[in-house]
């Protein structure tokens, strides 16, 4: 065989290998979700649950093709990832879960690398956190604290609108961020957003809760229960909201981007998954835990902080419920 033919053959072989690798990277992946699974889950005492108001405050979004958000989706359908905060009004305190975007966000991002600004910073800005709060007639002084699901730039980026409001952070997450153990690509930016706001660290060292290994009961009445959902970052923290009326819900930080990530379950596209996951094994285990929880409790919405679809669906039902209460229907 002539040298040129060998070269063509090698190029063809490389091409086939490359194509099959690329194809493999988007195909669905097996998760061991079908094994017998026993969980000690007792139904929590609901007699102490108060009325709690929950409002998603969407500050911006980015649109991605679905195959990047759900591995195996093989679809270019646009998927909207939101950037949101959640306002939670409980009789013992009013606080935010995550913080959305501050009004000055572009000033903070101005000095970031071109790569950051092109990839992560290419979101569509919609409404600043301060503007949302003003609209709802919530003054900064009304807020007792901001609870952060984890310390990535897009979850702390609303804090400059609320100087002085204490930040509550899972100790595991805080220490990992300090040691730069998690996949923080922009550690200095995180601390800039957090500014001089005081920090209060908490530990999820309470008993197992709803099938999750440990917990922290925020107000001691069983209505707001934090659980660790590690993997995306070491201390990514979920929040169960249990209330006297309206559906219960489970906020899960960035453990998932979309409901499909736990219903299948499926990671994101491997390239994004490796960029945004600090520990592959624990992040997959968290997806399996959420998948099992979803099957045990389909009545409790599991909502990721970027899941625009679920957030909108929740708010539609919630607004209707509040109107019905208001009009006495």
Residue numbers at the binding site for Zn ion (CB under 5 A):
154, 254
Tokens read off for 270: 């491997």
Least Å distance, CB 107 to Zn ion, is 20
Residue number, 172 or 256, with CB nearest to Zn ion: 256
Least Å distance, CB 117 to Zn ion, is 17
* All residues at 6 or more sequence positions from 105 whose CB lies less than 8 Å from its CB, including other chains: 125, 128, 157
* All residues at 6 or more sequence positions from 3 whose CB lies less than 8 Å from its CB, including other chains: none
CA distance 128 to 139: 14
Residue with tokens 């061991």: 32
Least Å distance, CB 254 to Zn ion, is 4
CA distance 127 to 218: 29
Residue number, 154 or 260, with CB nearest to Zn ion: 154
Residue number, 37 or 191, with CB nearest to Zn ion: 191
* All residues at 6 or more sequence positions from 177 whose CB lies less than 8 Å from its CB, including other chains: 151, 184, 187, 190, 233
Least Å distance, CB 239 to Zn ion, is 15
Least Å distance, CB 155 to Zn ion, is 6
CA distance 292 to 263: 9
Residue number, 150 or 168, with CB nearest to Zn ion: 150
- Side-chain half-sphere of 252: how many Cα atoms within 13 Å? 32
Residue number, 60 or 222, with CB nearest to Zn ion: 60
């Amino acid at each position: 065989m002539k040298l040129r033919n060998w070269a063509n053959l090698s190029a063809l072989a490389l091409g086939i290998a490359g194509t099959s690798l690329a194809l493999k990277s988007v195909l669905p992946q097996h998760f061991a979700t079908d094994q017998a699974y026993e969980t000690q889950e007792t139904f929590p005492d609901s007699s102490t649950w108060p009325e709690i108001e929950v409002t998603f405050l969407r500050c911006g979004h980015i649109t991605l093709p679905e195959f990047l958000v759900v591995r195996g989706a093989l679809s270019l359908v646009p998927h909207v990832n939101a950037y949101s905060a959640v306002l939670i009004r409980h009789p013992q305190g009013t606080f935010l879960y995550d913080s959305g975007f501050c009004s000055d966000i572009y000033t903070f991002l101005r000095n970031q690398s071109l790569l950051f600004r092109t990839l992560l910073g290419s979101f569509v800005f919609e409404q600043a956190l301060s503007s949302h709060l003003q609209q709802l007639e919530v003054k900064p002084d009304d807020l007792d604290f901001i609870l952060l699901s984890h310390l990535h730039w897009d979850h702390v980026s609303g804090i400059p609108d609320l100087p002085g409001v204490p930040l509550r952070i899972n100790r595991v997450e805080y220490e990992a961020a300090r040691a730069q153990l998690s996949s923080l690509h922009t550690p200095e930016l995180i601390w800039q957003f957090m500014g001089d706001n005081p920090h209060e660290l908490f530990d999820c060292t309470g008993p197992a809760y709803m099938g999750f290994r440990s917990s922290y009961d925020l107000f001691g009445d069983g209505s707001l229960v934090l659980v660790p959902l590690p993997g995306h970052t070491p201390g990514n923290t979920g929040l169960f909201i249990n209330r006297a009326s309206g559906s219960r819900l489970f906020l899960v930080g960035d453990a998932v981007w979309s409901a499909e990530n736990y219903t299948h379950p499926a990671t994101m596209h491997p390239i994004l998954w490796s960029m945004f996951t600090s520990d592959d094994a624990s992040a997959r285990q968290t997806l399996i835990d959420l998948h099992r929880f979803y099957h045990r409790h389909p009545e409790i919405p599991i909502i990721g902080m970027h899941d625009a679809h679920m957030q909108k669906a929740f708010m539609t039902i919630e607004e209707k419920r509040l109107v019905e209460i208001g009009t006495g229907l």
